[in-house]
Structure 1
Amino acid sequence: MTQKDVESNTVSQKDGKRRKLYCHVGIGLVVSLIVVVAIIILTIYLIHRPTKPQFTLQEITLNAFNISTATTATLTSSFQITMSSRNPNARTGIFYDKLDVYATYRGQQITLQTMLPPSYLGHKDVTVWSPYLYGTEVPLASYLAGSLSQDKTAGTVLVNIKASGKVRWKFGTFVLGKYSLNVNCPAYITFGNKDGSYAVDPAVKYQLVARCSVDV
């Protein structure tokens, strides 16, 4: 190997070490930047610490709630509900990316899910939705037949209006999420007996203004 080859090999080794050094420095800078950004976001979150949104079931217009027990117990129901959501935070915005609303009776879903449009609530903002919920001849679990008799005797039926979806928090220019959101709104409605089947008169409106439980 000539002197020129030795010098060329030495230069190549130095260039290789320099490239590795630059690569390590670059990786270190990227990691440091990620850590700094994460610390900033965490600090902002801890300072503002968002309060979960507040939901209120304002009213229900009951168009149908008919139970048939001819063979298998089935329920046909139709509601229009008015539900509001309030952002109690003074410095944090709330994004609702996906929110499905439906009705349940004693733990069983009795209507299809109705999707609410995506929305954003600014500081202290309130939004109101009025979706329709309906289910046609939904088979009821066998144990619910006895429960219906008890509810008939009591004269009321407890229906739970529920919402589930995803929520994100907005702190200035930072947006965090997505977090699971579950809302439960209990509603007591009265019903009677018509021709041997449980039913209510159509288009009965119930003013509720009931606070809902919210889990995030």
Structure 2
Amino acid sequence: MSKDCGHHESKRKKLYKRIGVGILIFILIVALIILIIWAVLKPSKPSFTLQDATLYSFNLTSPVQLTTIFQVTVVARNPNDKIGIYYDRLLVYANYRNQQITVPTSTPPNYQDTNAVSIWSPFLQGQNVPVAPFIGAQINGELQSGGVYILIRLDGRVRWRVGSFISGPYHIHVTCPAFIPLGNPNVGISVEKNAIKYQLTQDCSVSV
């Protein structure tokens, strides 16, 4: 009786082993197919352009605090012919000299089809943001020179879509340099009371 039980147990172990090997082979085949498809399609990262910035407020007060309110227009293009892009989350904010000067603004989730263009126009603002004294001195110096250099950053996650296959999330980091010619009424366009729009059309660096 015990020999018979041992025989059946041995069969079960062999069966489980075969099932495990079969599942592993199936997973490897699927992974290989996805890898081959990925290599053939060669997905390209999206391109971003900072189109314009509408400035409502840019005030440096004492003690050294900065208040900024502006709206930016960011254009993203999907250069892929067969790959769509899911933008699950994008946080947009402004930096000056490696210091964040606005709170992050979240864009709504978006799917970008092949060769499609997406446009976001988030409002960015920072109320009485403390800045280091030397940062305040640099801002004053740039203002006297006719404008300030800031960076518009977008951080988030994207997923790639190929047919019905959707990849896992990838981090995306976008940096858009911008020169805002404050104090020069001949450069910007007045759009509202105390609001001036500056056309920038500045290409951004993108890493995924």
TM-score (norm 2): 0.92
Range moving further from structure 2, 147-156 or 105-114: 147-156
Residue of structure 1 equivalent to 2:204: 212
Give the corresponding residue for 1:140: 131
Q: Match for residue 106 of structure 1?
A: 97
- What number of residue pairs does the alignment pair up? 200
**Runs of 4+, deviation exceeding 4 Å:** none
Within 5 A, what are the aligned runs for 1:166-185?
166-185=157-176
| Aligned-pair CA distance for 1:177 | 2.7
Counterpart residue identity of residue 173, structure 1: S
Mapped partners of 1:140, 1:202: distance in 2: 24
Q: What is the aligned partner in structure 2 of residue 47 from structure 1?
A: 40
Match of 2:145 in 1: 154
**SS of alignment partner, residue 167 of structure 2:** strand
1:150, CA displacement in angstroms? 2.2
- CA drift at 1:145: 2.3
User: 1:179: how far off?
Assistant: 1.1
Q: Which amino acid aligns with 1:132?
A: F
Which SS does the other structure have where 1:15 is aligned?
Answer: helix
Report the equivalent of 2:25. Answer: 32
Identity, in percent, stands at: 41
- 2-side partners of 1:113 and 1:188: how far apart? 20
Work out the CA distance in 1 between the residues paired with 2:49 and 2:136: 30
- RMSD over aligned CA atoms reads 1.4
- Counterpart CA distance in 1 for 2:143 and 2:199 is 21
Can you list the C-alpha shifts for 1:105-155, whole angstroms capped at 9, x where unaligned? 111111110000111111101011111111100001222122123202321
Between the aligned partners of 2:58 and 2:140, the Cα distance in structure 1 is 15
Aligned counterpart, 1:9: 2
Q: 2:54 matched to 1:61?
A: yes
Cα deviation, residue 169, structure 1: 1.0
Paired position in structure 2 for 1:19 = 12
Instruction: List alignment gaps of at least 5 residues for structure 1.
Output: 1-7, 194-200
Secondary structure of 2:86's partner? strand
Which residue of structure 2 lines up, in the alignment, with residue 3 of structure 1? none
Q: SS of the counterpart of 1:55?
A: strand
State the match for 1:82 in structure 2.
73
> 2:190 is matched with which residue?
none
- For 2:57 and 2:113, the matched residues in 1 are separated by 36
Residue 171 of structure 1 deviates from its aligned partner by 1.4
Residue type matched to 2:118 in 1? T
Give the unaligned 5+ runs of structure 2.
185-192
1:197 paired residue number: none
- Displacement of 1:174 in angstroms is 1.4
Write the letter of the residue equivalent to 1:101.
Answer: V
- Write the deviation string for residues 71-113 of structure 1: whole angstroms up to 9, x where unpaired: x211111011111111000011111111000111111111110
Which amino acid is the alignment partner of residue 204 of structure 2? C
